[in-house]
Amino acid sequence: MADLNPKIQPIIKEILQIRRELHKSPELAYKEHKTTRLIKNTLNGWGIEFYPFEHLETGGYCMVGDGKPFVAFRADIDGLPVTEDASHTIRSLNEGFMHACGHDYHTALALGLIKYLHNNSDRLNNTVVFLFQPAEEAAPGGAEQVIKESVWKKVRKIVGVHVAPDISVGKFVLVNGAVQASSTSLFIEINAPGGHTSKPHETVDTIAVSSQYIVQLQKYIRHKNDPQETVVLVFGSIQGGGTHNIIPQKVTLRGTLRTLNNNILENTLEYIREFSNRFSSLYEADIRVSFPTNCPATINDSILLKIFSEYMKKTGKGGDLILRTKSSLGADDFAFYSKEVPGLYILLGAAGRGSLHSGNLELNEKVLHYALEPLAEFLMALQ
């Protein structure tokens, strides 16, 4: 693990305090007003202009440098509806809400990167746009709105990070290809006349049809896709009927489809429509299919991945770099950025206690010490 540069300690000290303030005041997606004010006031105090987004009420961006190309860094700023473990030394003061996915770290790190670049602007040959994105945890998420912003049209590359409780502190993890899976929500409605349970032959048994639909759809999707591809379809909700002797007129199913390949994703959505039409005819039921939310997979750009790997080795930090082949089946709307421009999504080792999205998550603050200078210098060198 590389030694820490004592020159960055004043920045580290400041962003550690900011991280703790953020952790105490988590806000849910699209409601990050206090968080946005803290970011704006901090930047203004450093003499850096903060710009609100045109299409969002929270979040915003700033720019450091005046050269080309425009390189972006995304920091997500929202919290989660999770109750934090009362034993934590630094804990949420908003009961029932918590930064349980490390977005307080992402935001504080972005502010540290801004100050580092601002202090070294004489060495900066590009322009780095820092996107403080709201609502990563929502669906649809904030990224879908940020890519409509006029500033986004200038961006040519983007970098994002995520703290990881299962990785040793100080380590940087890259995944070649898909880092995070796609996540598409399914809403299926099965409609029929309904009837008495004593006469299922005179109607369509929507409960039985629904059970067959779930089983047969999963088989159909597996058959249509290359078995070497990851395609995961899971239903989380079945609702229909209210009593023992009435066949319901409607049954609704809700589920999630996840893949690691965006072409496979688009094909599979078409397979679901195709199957539903055929199944509807076979069972004489009206089946309506919709996909309320659809987040693509986050794919690391191979060239950016190579550039970062070589940068880490060149600067003597090759020992802190871990290359993985295994992807996560979680999702991140960073995917909307990396689908439009080359993107690099880096996992930062922050081993502490607990797991993401749980009340017992407690990360190691030293992740900020080890991530700040390497990421800042990489952003400065990116062309």
Q: How far apart are CA 221 and CA 233, in angstroms?
A: 9
What H or E segment, with its residue span, contains residue 351? none
Structural domain including 290 reads 183-294
* Cβ partners under 8 Å of residue 83, min gap 6: 95, 96, 98, 359
Q: Is residue 78 part of a domain?
A: yes
162 is annotated as contributing to ligand binding:
yes
Is the sign of the CA dihedral 321, 327, 331, 335 positive or negative?
A: positive
333 phi, psi to nearest 5 deg: -75, 5
pLDDT tens across the length of the chain (383 residues): 556 677 899 999 999 999 999 999 999 999 999 999 999 999 999 999 999 999 999 999 999 999 999 999 999 999 999 999 999 999 999 999 999 999 999 999 999 999 999 999 999 999 999 999 999 999 999 999 999 999 999 999 999 999 999 999 999 999 999 999 999 999 999 999 999 999 999 999 999 999 999 999 999 999 999 999 999 999 999 999 999 999 999 999 999 999 999 999 999 999 999 999 999 999 999 999 999 999 999 999 999 999 999 999 999 999 999 999 999 999 999 999 999 999 999 999 999 899 999 999 999 999 999 999 999 999 999 99
pLDDT at 7: 80
Give the C-alpha separation, 373 to 123, whole Å.
14
At residue 88, the pLDDT reads 97
The number of domains in the chain is 2
The CATH number for 221's domain is 3.30.70.360
Relative to beta strand 231-240, strand 51-52 is unpaired
Please tell me whether residues 273 and 325 are part of one structural domain: no
Burial call 306-332: b when 16+ CB within 10 Å, e when fewer = ebbbebbeeeebeebbeeeeebbbebb
**Quick one: 52 and 166 in the same domain?**
yes
pLDDT of residue 5: 78
CA–CA gap between residue 173 and residue 320 (Å, rounded):
8
- Please say which residue of 237, 259, 294 terminates a domain: 294
Does a structural domain hold residue 1? no
> Cα–chain-centroid distance for residue 209?
35
Annotated binding-site residue? 103: yes
CA 272 to chain CA centroid, Å, is: 25
In eight-state DSSP terms, residue 102 is: S
Are both 26 and 83 inside the same structural domain?
yes
Tell me the CATH number at 363. 3.40.630.10
pLDDT at 2: 54
